[in-house]
Structure 1
Amino acid sequence: MGNHKLRLSIAVGNYDRIRPMVDGDVQIDGVDPVFMLQDPEEIFFRAFRHADYDICELSLSSYSVKTAAGTSPYIAIPVFPSRAFRHTSIYVRADRGIEKPEDLKGKRIGVPEYQLTANVWVRLFLEEEYGVKASDVTWVRGGYEDPSRVEKIALKLSGDIKIEDAPEGETISSLLAAGKIDAVIGPRAPSCFDQGHPQVKYLFDDPHKSAADWYARTKLFPIMHTLGIRKTLAEQHPWLPGAVMKAFEQSKALALARLSDTAATKVTLPFVEDQLRAARKLMGFDFWPYGFAQNEHVVDRFLARHHAEGLSSRRLEARELFHPASLESFKI
């Protein structure tokens, strides 16, 4: 009779936490996976334009837009392949008198896309912590390094938000380097920052400390991406969401065990054991949790902000994002 496993395409980033599945050390029950390791920009573009994959990483923001509108081809499970503190995501000109977040008011800020998950989280803490509202600045959108990038999905923003497109042929990085905008907010550093441009710096002098202080107060470890399963598949195979959830959990647990085995460090970075210890001291042993209960407060805060910004057409409840079978997890 042969192998009756489901052959499924799975598009995710090449993270240590998914390597055990890619390498075959962790199996997904009943699934014969074809992994495609791609950049999030490529995955999201193909997922939201064409639903190319059976299972894939999804931008939390784009997925929330689509879920609120009832047009998502995917249903998520509470696996979060990408999370990041975003205090490192604000880059400013050093010659514009921007010393603290409040100084961003009245400035021109470049973004690759307005609705990017990272940018929603940054706007959340800029307003909650420093009183800087989205309507206090002018947003300039365009590709970071390629002038042809566009927003993946159409946005309906409130009238007091000032958004303009970058001039023809210009990139966000080139505008910042030339001083035509005052700051950039986005999930990766603009190339002018990476190249050491003398007038481009982080907004926060010590973004690591700023983020740790914020976490200590809010207990928010921002979720960037979740994991989607094509809805038709989840309907045909009710066991699939649970099987995928279990494998992603096991894979992450194995990656963390390897990370903490520092007799011969697996990661090309000195002092990685100190980083791990510091993360667990600040955030607890399971500092990168999957599962609904452990993350409901984070998802809920994001959805409240997302709707307040006019990005999602209605205020979603956290549980609406996830397949019902994945809301409760059994303990292994």
Structure 2
Amino acid sequence: MPDLSLQTAMVSYGHTKPLIDGTVHSDRINLVHVPVSPIPTAFRRMVRGLEYDVSEMAMSTYLCALAHHKQITAFPAFVLRRFEHDEIYYNTKSGIESPADLIGRKVGLRSYTFTPGVWARGILHDAYGVNSRDVTWVLYGDEHVSEYKAPDNVIPALPDSDMVADLLSGKIDAAIRPGKVNSSDIKPLIPNADEAAQDYFLQTGIYPISHAMVVKNELLKRHPWIADELYSMFKSGKERYLKYLDTANDLDSEDQAISRMKQIIGPDPLPYGIESNRKSLQAFMDFNVQQGIIPESFKWEDIFTPV
């Protein structure tokens, strides 16, 4: 039995499940899985109270946390990523006909710093010429990093407001991830979003990263070898999963989605490490600075543990 047990909060994805069920294990570390649902609750607890030893973490929350001197460090196991062109919905009665029509409009979202919103705003800027400063962003929740102060064009929704209800009524013109909406008046802003996302990837090489893994700095100082051991475990879990995708005949819907990504991304649809993700990481860093999530860029090598 390993001497070091680490309280670990993460989702049981196909590639992390082997770490949770013990199929992938270490002689030096015992990962004690702490179920947290929904997983953003863990991000909040980690950046506010360091409640876990190891935690899954949204990328923009991580950058924002570092800007406010939170004592965590990531290792580059990117456990969740997806194309983000399908995140934005609009009310067809608003007069919006294209992404460029968001300029001067009100767009709802859960929080300004949440990662899908950062990616969506970055894509709007890069591909459609919509500067985030030219949109009023209406928040229906708060930020994980409580010290964060949003730009002046970010405003709170009225107390007890509901994003879907406000979208349907026209109080906001569009929304990022509004949730389920049963109305023909609400449609995706970017038509043929899957095709548009694939084209964006082929043109830019950017494959949006959503979540990485972080460790408390206190543990890294006491046990500097932890990062290498954890990264090795996560790589082993992913390698087992990729072999399973190649051989199994009973893939569920999530497995099928990852398997389809291989046709676009290549043999490894879940690349780990800094170098193989540099274009995506740099784009994301730039988006966070442009949007006022962080005041200035970090060097990725400075904010990921060397592995």
TM-score by length of 1: 0.86
The aligned residue for residue 84 of structure 2 is 86
Identity of aligned residues (%): 28
- With 173-182 and 234-243 compared, the bigger mean Cα shift is at 173-182
Map 1:118-197 to 2 at 5 A. Answer: 118-142=116-140, 149-153=141-145, 154-158=147-151, 161-186=152-177, 189-192=178-181, 196-197=182-183
Using structure 2 for the length normalisation, give the TM-score: 0.93
- Structure 1 residues 255-270: aligned runs within 5 Å: 255-262=241-248, 264-268=249-253
| Count of aligned residue pairs for this structure pair | 305
Q: Distance in 2 between matches of 1:242 and 1:10?
A: 16
* Structure 2, gaps ≥5 residues long: none
Whole-angstrom distance in 1 between the partners of 2:65 and 2:136: 26
Partner-residue secondary structure (3-state), 1:294: helix
- Could you say which residue in structure 1 is the equivalent of 2:223? 237
Matched with 1:312 is 294
- Written as runs of structure 1 = structure 2, the 5 A alignment for 1:220-231 is 220-231=206-217
Alpha-carbon distance, 1:97 to partner: 2.7
For residues 171-223 of structure 1, the C-alpha deviation after alignment (integer angstroms, 9 at most, x for no partner) is 2122113222111013xx5122xxx3221111122111111010001111111
Could you tell me which residue of structure 2 aligns to residue 288 of structure 1? 270
Contact 2:94 2:170 in 1 (8 A): no
Kindly indicate whether the alpha-carbon contact (under 8 Å) linking 1:303 and 1:317 is maintained by their aligned counterparts in 2: no
Shift of 1:276: 5.6
Structure 1 residue 260 displacement after superposition: 2.6
- The answer to whether the 8 A contact 1:68-1:316 is kept is no
C-alpha contact 1:75 1:231 (8 A) present in aligned 2: yes
How far apart in 2 are the matches of 1:221 and 1:169? 36
How much does 1:56 deviate? 0.4
Report the alpha carbon displacement of residue 122 of structure 1 after superposing the two structures with TM: 1.1
Aligned-residue offset at 1:35:
0.5
**Matched residue type, 1:155:** Y
- 1:152 offset after TM fit, Å? 1.9
| Residue of structure 2 aligned with 1:252, choices 224, 238, 241 | 238
- Please list every run of at least 4 consecutive aligned residues from structure 1 whose deviation after the TM superposition is greater than 6 angstroms: none
CA deviation map 1:131-155 (0-9, x unaligned):
101122111111xxxxxx3222233
CA distance in 1, matches of 2:35, 2:86: 25
| SS of corresponding position for 1:201 | strand
CA contact (8 A) 1:102 1:130 kept: yes
SS at match of 1:87: coil
Shift of 1:43: 0.6
One-letter amino acid matched to 1:266: L
Question: Is the CA contact 2:245–2:259 (under 8 Å) kept in the aligned structure 1?
Answer: no
Consecutive unaligned residues of structure 1, counting only runs of 5 or more, are 143-148, 327-332
